[in-house]
Structure 1
Amino acid sequence: MKVLVTGGAGFIGSHIVKTLLNANHEVRVLHLPNEKLDNLKGLDVELLAGDITDAAKMDEAVKGCDWVFHTAAIYALWLPKPELMRKVNIEGTRTVLNAAKKAGVKRVVYTSTGACFAGQPKGIQGTENSPFALGVTGDAYVLTKFEAHQVALQFAAGGLDVVIVCPTGPVGPCDIAPTPTGKLILTVAAMPALAVPAAINNMVDVRDVAQGHLLAAEKGRSGETYILGNRDLSGIEMAKMVHRLLGIWRPVMPIPSLIEGVSSQMAGHLALWVTEHITHKAPLVTPSAAKIGQLGTSFNCSKAISELGLPQTPIEIAIRDSLQWFAQNGYIHNQSLIRKIENISI
């Protein structure tokens, strides 16, 4: 198959590219003109610089392709021009799907987000049938990705063969940004003591997410949505898992939910004020991000497991490989910690 991957230089996208190459598909990657391509070094792919909001470029990108994997999106806590997130995440998705429909692409796999089904009441896991619950946070990424999800459903209803996948919290090598989950793992590994949120979040090996995309193309039902995740972990459980892998003991304390909610909201408002009035750079936290963290992202991923055969690699392996990649690529400078990471045994 000739396959297009938008956002193929990113964390999830680059793993999709590798999975497709391993399955002997011919891959074209659409990337931004000035984007870092470190995750694609040495791979036999066709590179095409362009923007998903450019209709002419998208017509060029999908030409001759049998499948399209649309992973490109803006994920950011804050942007100086917030309308850009709406333009890329929603209108860009519409442009990609319209180009695919015009070109007669056989199947599109659209990468949505588990956030569309997250934040359910305590003790209830999100599923593909759960109501949208994170709208109350006002988070721009969540809101635009939810609306883009609806755009994908509309195209599916209109005759385009679209399968939607919703990754939870991916973990693993090549986390070049790094992602918020990757930053948390680095913090847990390095800090002598830690206070972590009590909220539960679902984590999954990024390579399983990539395999899930290919399985969605091969086995997914058109118009259906599949949550690509694995294991729910509280902040305490995740921190203790990292410490066990490293063979160390460090105090880890839960932040009570009430204190967490108040303090994180205050921190979010303060960080946002500093960003908007002083630094004009993305903050570490925003009020909406703090609210999402408080609500948590717990999921039941049985639909993707039973229908697609989604792999369930142990999270310990994903965290080990994440730490080793960070250590090998200059994200960790403490030599003692690097040696501990190199000696992880599972």
Structure 2
Amino acid sequence: MKVSVIGGTGFVGSHLVERLLADGHVPHLLVRPGSGSKVVQPEQCRLFEGDVTDQAALEACLAGCDAVVYLIGILREHPDRGITFEELQFRGVERTIAAAHRIGVQRFLLMSANGVEAQGTPYQRTKHRAEEAIKATELDWTIFRPSVIFGEPHGRMEFCSQLKHDIIDSPLPVPLFFDGLAIPEAGRFQLAPVSVQDVAAAFSRALTEPAAIGATYPLCGPDVLTWKEILSTIAAASGKTKLMLPAPAAVIKVVAGLLDRWPWFPITRDQIKMLLEGNVCGSSAAFDQLGIVPQRFDAAALGYLKSD
């Protein structure tokens, strides 16, 4: 199949392109000017210069394709550079849907996120609106909702390498966030990290799985771990030990409110809020249907951190 990938130069996108090629597909990639060096195996892909705001470039990228995959997502906004949740996680999806209609691409796969909700943070709300937009069409859509994603970064931002850089490599103790006065609950909120290779495999297999049409798949890894356990695993994979101390979320949010407008500050208020909500789901049925045995989250799986 010829598959248009919107967001194919990012972390998940680089792994999806590898998987599509391994499965015999031909990726068509929308590539921003100056980003061509980020493309995986460019000689086997078709590249179209432009970005998601460029309708003509979108249509050129989709032309002749059997399916389109929309992967673009951000963790924090930079409005001065036009990088906002509204623009990239919702309006971009709308434009790609419109291009798919005009070009005649019926199959549409969307990467959303576990925990999206209509009344959540701007990140969650725009992901939710994107889901509603694709559900309102007559396209053959599939939605994926991954938890936090880990794996070889390929030089991009990735969950574990970012935590290693911001927290484990820092001289400061590891913060175990807690809400209110619940100190005994510090660092006990749970996440279920999912391997980027499993996410890529899910997208690729869904392309040819009739049962995936009209389905929304939660994608969480098989290990449900507390924040403390995740950071301990990252530290162990990095060959380090760290002091861990309770950190009141209310205080961190106040500090973030003052500083999270600058990229060097490692976390935003909304990210703290979403962390404390946890991020787990039941994915056994999804992985079984797609024929995937999900990878464990352990020090062995994080070997890439040793050279980070």
Please, what TM-score do these two structures have when normalized by structure 2? 0.85
Aligned to 1:261: 249
Residue 180 of structure 1, CA deviation: 4.4
Matched, 1:213 2:203: yes
User: Are the equivalent residues in 2 in contact too, given 1:78–1:282 (CA < 8 A)?
Assistant: no
Matched, 1:169 2:148: yes
Aligned to 1:241: 233
Mapped partners of 2:141, 2:30: distance in 1 = 19
Q: 1:223 aligns with which of 193, 214, 220?
A: 214
Residue 83 of structure 1, CA deviation: 8.2
Aligned to 1:145: 127
Aligned to 2:61: 61
User: Are the equivalent residues in 1 in contact too, given 2:151–2:197 (CA < 8 A)?
Assistant: yes
Give per-residue Cα distances to partners, 1:263-288, cap 9 Å, x unaligned. Answer: 2221221214xx3xxx6x57432222
Aligned to 2:12: 12
Is the partner of 1:80 in helix, strand or coil? helix
Mapped partners of 1:83, 1:51: distance in 2 = 12
**Counterpart of 2:259 in structure 1: which amino acid?**
A
User: Are the equivalent residues in 2 in contact too, given 1:267–1:285 (CA < 8 A)?
Assistant: no
**Counterpart of 1:287 in structure 2: which amino acid?**
R
Distance 1:55 1:84, change over 3 A: same
Mapped partners of 1:42, 1:55: distance in 2 = 23
Mapped partners of 2:14, 2:219: distance in 1 = 17
Give per-residue Cα distances to partners, 1:203-235, cap 9 Å, x unaligned. Answer: 011111101111222224322110122032212
Is the partner of 2:52 in helix, strand or coil? coil
Q: 2:303 aligns with which of 299, 320, 323?
A: 320
Is the partner of 1:311 in helix, strand or coil? coil
**Counterpart of 2:14 in structure 1: which amino acid?**
S
Residue 320 of structure 1, CA deviation: 1.7
Is the partner of 1:218 in helix, strand or coil? coil
Residue 79 of structure 1, CA deviation: 2.7
Mapped partners of 2:82, 2:38: distance in 1 = 27
Aligned to 1:311: 293
Distance 1:252 1:184, change over 3 A: same
User: Are the equivalent residues in 2 in contact too, given 1:227–1:303 (CA < 8 A)?
Assistant: no
**Counterpart of 1:173 in structure 2: which amino acid?**
E
Aligned to 2:282: 300
Mapped partners of 1:83, 1:246: distance in 2 = 32
Mean Cα displacement is larger for which, 76-85 or 164-173?
Answer: 76-85
Mapped partners of 2:264, 2:214: distance in 1 = 35
**Counterpart of 2:203 in structure 1: which amino acid?**
H
Mapped partners of 1:297, 1:97: distance in 2 = 28
Residue 175 of structure 1, CA deviation: 4.9
Matching of residues 153-164 of structure 1 within 5 Å: 153-155=135-137, 159-164=138-143
Aligned-residue Cα RMSD (Å) equals 2.5
Please, what TM-score do these two structures have when normalized by structure 1? 0.76
Aligned length: 294
Matched, 1:96 2:75: no
Identity %: 24
Give per-residue Cα distances to partners, 1:21-71, cap 9 Å, x unaligned. Answer: 001111111122233633525652111111223222222111100121111
Aligned to 1:344: none
Mapped partners of 1:83, 1:63: distance in 2 = 26
Q: 2:259 aligns with which of 271, 276, 280?
A: 271
Unaligned runs of 5+ in 1: 117-131, 333-346
User: Are the equivalent residues in 2 in contact too, given 1:209–1:229 (CA < 8 A)?
Assistant: no
Is the partner of 1:113 in helix, strand or coil? coil
Mean Cα displacement is larger for which, 171-180 or 34-43?
Answer: 34-43
Distance 1:61 1:23, change over 3 A: same
Is the partner of 1:285 in helix, strand or coil? coil
Is the partner of 1:37 in helix, strand or coil? helix
Aligned to 1:343: none
User: Are the equivalent residues in 1 in contact too, given 2:144–2:216 (CA < 8 A)?
Assistant: yes
